[in-house]
Amino acid sequence: MNDCLFCKIVRNEVESRKIYEDDKVIAIMDAYPDVDGHTLIIPKKHYTDFKELDDDILIHIKKVAVKLNERLMNKLNSTGFAFIVNYGDRQVIKHFHLHLLPDYKKNKASKNLDELYELLKEE
């Protein structure tokens, strides 16, 4: 998909704040976050929506979400989490992606995107 924003990010044609990458997925900080640490897990292969995912990629995304959940909770003092997948009209970019949204009932992080990126990027 030449015009897909997430495909362009995967191909490094568009800058992003990448905090995780392997051979199947990347995880980036959302450019317009709903909360501090709002992260997207994006398969490198273009899947329009969740109905196109095969079991292998879905299981892999789940494993990455568990790993990133731990990193986000520990580094941002998050007290909970939401995992969201939008579909249909709610899905702005038509490339499957999983939203990881930390919750802050206590000790809200309140940092800017660059500060959060420095905390969360892979070492």
- pLDDT for 116 equals 79
Q: With 70 as the cut, is the pLDDT of residue 53 above it?
A: yes
| CA end-to-end span of the chain | 31
Read off the pLDDT band of 85 (50, 70, 90). Answer: very high
Share of the chain above pLDDT 70, in %: 93
Q: What is the CATH number of the domain that holds 42?
A: 3.30.428.10
Active site residue ranges: 97
SS3 75: helix
6-51: pLDDT as tens digits? 999 999 999 999 999 999 999 999 999 988 899 999 999 999 999 9
- pLDDT for 123 equals 63
- Whose CA is closest to 26, among 43, 5, 48, 2? 43
Share of the chain above pLDDT 90, in %: 67
- Whose CA is closest to 40, among 111, 98, 109, 114? 98
Read off the pLDDT band of 121 (50, 70, 90). Answer: confident
- Calpha distance 7→22 (Å, rounded): 15
Q: How many domains does the structure of the chain reveal?
A: 1
Q: With 80 as the cut, is the pLDDT of residue 111 above it?
A: no
Q: With 60 as the cut, is the pLDDT of residue 109 above it?
A: no
Residue where the block lists tokens 């490339």: 95
Q: Residue 91: give the domain boundaries.
A: 5-120
